[in-house]
Copies of this chain bind each other. A is one copy, B any other.
């Protein structure tokens, strides 16, 4: 045993320090493609806050980098190992410590799986809205690290809206408590929000106080077929301008629709260029859907089909959730995540089509249309060097287009390794300078997830 693993083992349970390279290799990366990953020296599985502190203290003493990990479902390489690092897996810190229906908060450890929490709070008539595609396997700690979104955001917002307070182990092993468990509070700078989305570069979340909402009624959906991105984009704008608040507003292009039908035999209409799914979950959901149907027709929908019942509605939303795996089967993929003001959504989609044509590539696009958040998925043959180069160029041009349209290079997947070089372009020199200085305050030795984000 090396000095590192020996020292780590002194403060961790038996079996919590893994060095077998066959095992540790599996912990070297998340689900992002095309991001460098080193070989970890060791993977540790602490079970308590004190054990996490021991790991960080040891790493600080020995100046070894630490890469915190949840379920490794991330799409930006933020959880990728650095050569010779300690991978700090939080999956065994996985207890729901408290669910408090009067104060509408849950207190959880970072390894709790999103879906587990969702089901646990459901019993109290509550919900935890953030619902990334990977919600059945991703962890709350990972959601906090990336500032995860999902399909719910058009009505319910993103992870950062739901984190009230955090316990965080700092790079030197000290325990920091931020925030509160009250509904309101303005005592001091908002360190909680600074930590959400910081991708494990500022500290390691070991406990979170989350805000919950009353569970809404089940969603009821409609599907509207459009002949173009322009008409679909106009419908999205009209719905938002009319003051409606759907609980979901998703757009699938023709490539995604076909892919979903192939994978799931969902029977989605293949003649459409843009399939808009809109749902409501409030007491006025029928009225909302009727008004949306009207606005879609006015905007140029060729067909508007409200779900006939709850089962059909659920099926529509399940079809949407199938889009990413369905597209993934078509080849090697690069998944982008550009958000633009929703008024520029059609321009974004048309621009992506131009990029696809320019590089002779297939790009399927699914969008959280209500948020202007597009996921263009570049599909190519990864064994073909030329196609891979073109795919990379297309991927970059999509981000450049997003910035031109007043958007951001990442709506919800994060920066990680994948978009680190692009971050500087979005932030500009003043913000980047401050961000780097903030990083240095939390992690003066630079051992926490080095090379990620800033």
Find residues 102-146 in chain A having any chain B CB closer than 8 Å to their own CB. Answer: 102-105, 125-126, 146
Which stretch (A6-14, A29-37, A357-365, A424-432) binds chain B? A424-432
Distance in Å: Cβ of A174 to nearest Cβ of chain B: 5
Contact with B along A186-207 (1 / 0, CB 8 A): 1111110110111000100000
Contact of A341 among B161, B174, B182, B372 (CB under 8 A): B182
Contact of A187 among B103, B343, B427 (CB under 8 A): B427
Cβ of A438 within 8 Å of any chain B Cβ, yes or no, is yes
List B contacts of A197 (CB < 8 A).
Answer: 186, 189-190
Cβ of A15 within 8 Å of any chain B Cβ, yes or no, is no
Cβ of A306 within 8 Å of any chain B Cβ, yes or no, is no
Q: By CB atoms of chain B within 10 A, which of A157, A196, A341, A437 has the most?
A: A341
Known: A170-B430, A190-B160. A411 touches B185 (CB 8 A): yes
Count of A interface residues, CB-CB < 8 Å? 91
Instruction: Judge whether B196 and A190 touch: CB under 8 Å.
Output: yes
Cβ of A80 within 8 Å of any chain B Cβ, yes or no, is no
List B contacts of A213 (CB < 8 A).
Answer: 245
Which stretch (A223-231, A264-272, A292-300, A402-410) binds chain B? A402-410
Instruction: Judge whether A183 and B153 touch: CB under 8 Å.
Output: yes
Cβ of A23 within 8 Å of any chain B Cβ, yes or no, is no
Which stretch (A39-47, A236-244, A311-319, A326-334) binds chain B? A236-244
List B contacts of A439 (CB < 8 A).
Answer: 189
Distance in Å: Cβ of A120 to nearest Cβ of chain B: 16
Instruction: Judge whether A372 and B183 touch: CB under 8 Å.
Output: yes
Known: A103-B342, A284-B283. A147 touches B411 (CB 8 A): no
Distance in Å: Cβ of A219 to nearest Cβ of chain B: 17
Instruction: Judge whether A454 and B187 touch: CB under 8 Å.
Output: no
Contact of A423 among B175, B188, B284 (CB under 8 A): B188
Cβ of A214 within 8 Å of any chain B Cβ, yes or no, is yes
Cβ of A339 within 8 Å of any chain B Cβ, yes or no, is yes
Known: A243-B215, A283-B283. A434 touches B427 (CB 8 A): no
List B contacts of A284 (CB < 8 A).
Answer: 283
Instruction: Judge whether A187 and B408 touch: CB under 8 Å.
Output: yes
Instruction: Judge whether A188 and B283 touch: CB under 8 Å.
Output: no
Task: Give Cα distance in the complex from A414 to B244, angstroms.
Answer: 34
List B contacts of A339 (CB < 8 A).
Answer: 180, 182-185
Contact of A441 among B147, B175, B419, B438 (CB under 8 A): B438
Known: A186-B415, A197-B186, A454-B189. A178 touches B244 (CB 8 A): no
List B contacts of A437 (CB < 8 A).
Answer: 441
List B contacts of A340 (CB < 8 A).
Answer: 182
Distance in Å: Cβ of A202 to nearest Cβ of chain B: 8
Instruction: Judge whether A103 and B341 touch: CB under 8 Å.
Output: yes
Contact of A160 among B100, B177, B193 (CB under 8 A): B193
10 contacts between A and B (CB under 8 A): A101-B241, A102-B241, A103-B342, A103-B343, A158-B186, A176-B431, A184-B372, A186-B414, A188-B432, A191-B435
